Amino acid sequence: MCGIVGIIGQGRDVVYDLYEAMLTLQHRGQDAAGIATFDGILHLKKGIGLVQQVFNRKNLSRLRGPVGIGQARYPTIGRGSPEDSQPFYVNYPYGVAMVHNGNVINFVALKEELQKVHRRQLNSSSDVEAILNVFADELVHKSSSAFSADDLFDAVGGVFRRVQGAYSVVAMLGDGSLLAFRDPLGIRPLVMGRKETMTAFASETVTFDFLGFENLGDVSAGEAVHVSTDGRITRRQISEPNHHPCIFEWVYFARPDSVIDGIGVLEARRRLGETLAKRCREAGIEPDMVVPVPDTGRPAALALTEATGWHLSEGLIRNRYIQRTFIMPTQTKRRSSVRQKFNPVRSELAGRKVLLVDDTIVRGNTSLELIKLVRQAGPSKVYYAVYGSTLRSPCVYGIDMATRDEFIAKDHSEEEIERLIGADRLIYQTYDDMVAAVAGGRKMNFCTACFSGEYPTPVTDADLDRIAAERNSAKPYPRT
C-alpha cells in the first residue's frame, strides 16, 4: 500500500504541487518517498523516511519541469531499502519513469522471465520495477521512432495480460506526457483531477481538495488515461473491468476526508458505527462512556453514540508526532509505539465503564497493550468494540497486515480473543453488516479477502507460503 501522485501542466514547475500532494498521502506510506520530474532531462530524488525528511528546499529546487510523479512508500516485501524506493526509471524505449500502489503476486516469476528471456536485469525487490520493465518490453516492440497513445494503450494491455495482482500506476514518459492505469480488478484506488491547464492523478481525492483541483472521478478498473504535453486527455478501457475495490480502504487505510469509487470514507465509517451500535445493544453492555481509538475509530464511535444515546468522551489522546502503528515494519515497533502514541485521560476514565471503539484486530498484541494502558487510568470495566469484521487471511494485494498463522482470529473464538486481549467484553461487527455498511446501498463487489479468505485472483497455498517467507525473512532497513 502506497500513496502515488502524478501532475502535468504547462509553463511552470510542478514539484511543489507534487510535494504538497505527497504530504496529503503520507498516511499511506511512511517508509520512503520519491519524486521524479522532467524538463527534457529526468530529475530524480528519493530516499528512506517521511516526505519532510527526504525533501528540503535545496533538492526540491533542482526538480524542475512541468510534469512529475511521486510516491510515499509502504513496503510489503523486501527490506524497504533505498534500492526499493520509487520512482523507478528505464531509458529504453523512449524513457519511462513509474510509481505504483499495490502488490504483484507473480513478481518472482516475472523477475525470472524478464532476466532470462528479455535480458532485463531487475535490481530491487520492488514490484513496480517488474511492472515498469514489462511495460517497456511491450512498448519496445513498436516499430515507430515515436510512440502514439495507441502504442501506450497496447503496452498497458500487455501489462494486464502478464502482471497479476493489484496495481494502480502513474508513468511519466520521455516526451513529457503522463500515463495512468488501474488493473482490471481496480483493487487499489486511483482518481483524476483538473485545475486550469493542469491534470493530476492521485491515490485519494483529499489531494485534490488540498491543491484546489476539481475531482474528475476515478480511473476505472482496466482503464488507461494518457495526458499529452498540451493537456489533451485520451482515455481507453483496455480490459473488461471486474471491479473489486479493497474494502480495507474504507475500514482503515484511507483518510476520512477522501471519496473512493464514489463512496465517502467518513460516511462509510459512520455507517459502520451505526451497525456496530446494534451489536453492542445485543451484547447487553451499558457503558458510561464511548472512547474512540484515535483517529480511525472516531467517526464510527460518534455514530455509535448518536444511535445509542451513550456519552462520547475523548478519553484517549493521540500524540500526532508518532507514525501510524499499523504500517510500521515490525511487531516490536507496533507494540512499543502504542504507549508512545496514546495517553489515557485519568479524570475521564477512572471508575467508569469504558467502551473502546477500534477499526480491526489483527494479531491482538496492539489491542492487548492498548487495554493495559487504559486500565492504568482506573476504569471499572473496559469493553472493546470493533467495527471491522474478524480478520483471518493475509492480503496479497498490498497491505502487509499479517501472515496466515499470525491472525488471532484464525484459531481463536471471540470469547478466547476477549480473554487474550484482556477485555471485559469484546464485540465484533458481523461480516455482512460490514459489507452492507461500506456499500451504503450501492451494488459493489469488494475485495474482502482479508476478512473472508476469498481472493478475486487465483491464490495458492504456495503463494501464501512464499509471501509469508518473504515477510518473515525481511529485516527493516535501518534509518539514520
User: Which DSSP state fits 312?
Assistant: B
Instruction: Kindly tell me if the per-residue pLDDT of 450 is higher than 50.
Output: yes
Predicted confidence band of residue 80 (pLDDT cuts 50, 70, 90): low
Tell me, yes or no, if 2 is annotated catalytic.
Answer: yes
Q: Report the DSSP pairing between strands 96-104 and 165-173.
A: antiparallel
- The answer on 195 and 325 residing in a single domain is no
Report the candidate in 88, 68, 101, 71 with the shortest Cα–Cα distance to residue 200.
68
Predicted confidence band of residue 124 (pLDDT cuts 50, 70, 90): confident
- The answer on 194 and 297 residing in a single domain is no
When the pLDDT of each residue in the chain is averaged and rounded to a whole number, the result is 92
Model pLDDT, residue 325: 58
Tell me which of 72-81, 140-149, 176-185, 336-345 is least confident. 72-81
Instruction: Kindly tell me if the per-residue pLDDT of 122 is higher than 90.
Output: no
Instruction: Kindly tell me if the per-residue pLDDT of 282 is higher than 50.
Output: yes
Tell me which of 119-123, 225-229, 315-319 is least confident. 119-123
pLDDT above 90 coverage of the chain, percent: 78
Q: Which of 479 and 181 is assigned the larger pLDDT?
A: 181
- The answer on 338 and 230 residing in a single domain is no
Alpha carbon distance 31, 436 (integer Å): 33
**Strand extents, DSSP E, 174-276:** 178-182, 191-195, 198-202, 214-218, 223-227, 233-237, 259-260, 263-264
Predicted confidence band of residue 285 (pLDDT cuts 50, 70, 90): very high
CB atoms within 10 A of CB 203: 32
Instruction: Kindly tell me if the per-residue pLDDT of 384 is higher than 90.
Output: yes
Instruction: Kindly tell me if the per-residue pLDDT of 143 is higher than 70.
Output: no
Model pLDDT, residue 479: 45
- The answer on 318 and 226 residing in a single domain is no
Model pLDDT, residue 480: 40
Asked, for residue 457, whether it belongs to a domain, the answer is: no
- The answer on 137 and 104 residing in a single domain is yes
Model pLDDT, residue 405: 81
Q: Which of 193 and 93 is assigned the larger pLDDT?
A: 193
- The answer on 301 and 227 residing in a single domain is no
Mean pLDDT for 246-252 is: 97
User: How many domains does the chain fold into?
Assistant: 2
Instruction: Kindly tell me if the per-residue pLDDT of 222 is higher than 90.
Output: yes
Asked, for residue 249, whether it belongs to a domain, the answer is: no
Give the domain range for residue 141. 3-244
Alpha carbon distance 267, 388 (integer Å): 15
Match 498516511 to its residue by C-alpha cell.
27
- The answer on 232 and 317 residing in a single domain is no
> Using one digit for the tens of pLDDT, what is the confidence trace for 22-70?
999 999 999 999 999 999 999 999 999 999 999 999 999 999 999 999 9
- The answer on 316 and 227 residing in a single domain is no
User: Which DSSP state fits 220?
Assistant: P
CB 476 within 8 Å of CB 323: no
Model pLDDT, residue 393: 92
- The answer on 231 and 277 residing in a single domain is no
Report the candidate in 101, 2, 77, 87 with the shortest Cα–Cα distance to residue 42.
87
Torsion sign across C-alpha atoms 222, 86, 256, 383? positive
- The answer on 272 and 240 residing in a single domain is no
Report the candidate in 370, 313, 371, 322 with the shortest Cα–Cα distance to residue 345.
313
Asked, for residue 159, whether it belongs to a domain, the answer is: yes
Instruction: Kindly tell me if the per-residue pLDDT of 144 is higher than 80.
Output: no
Conformation bin of residue 351: beta by default, left when phi > 0, alpha when psi is -120 to 50: left
Asked, for residue 16, whether it belongs to a domain, the answer is: yes
Mean pLDDT for 247-275 is: 97
- The answer on 233 and 277 residing in a single domain is no
Model pLDDT, residue 243: 97
Asked, for residue 188, whether it belongs to a domain, the answer is: yes
CATH code assigned at 274: 3.40.50.2020
CATH code assigned at 135: 3.60.20.10
Asked, for residue 477, whether it belongs to a domain, the answer is: no
- The answer on 163 and 85 residing in a single domain is yes
Q: Which of 17 and 114 is assigned the larger pLDDT?
A: 17
Task: Choose one of 210, 244, 278: the last residue of a domain.
Answer: 244
Model pLDDT, residue 145: 67
Asked, for residue 458, whether it belongs to a domain, the answer is: no
Identified catalytic residue from 2, 280, 395, 450: 2
Conformation bin of residue 262: beta by default, left when phi > 0, alpha when psi is -120 to 50: left
Asked, for residue 405, whether it belongs to a domain, the answer is: yes
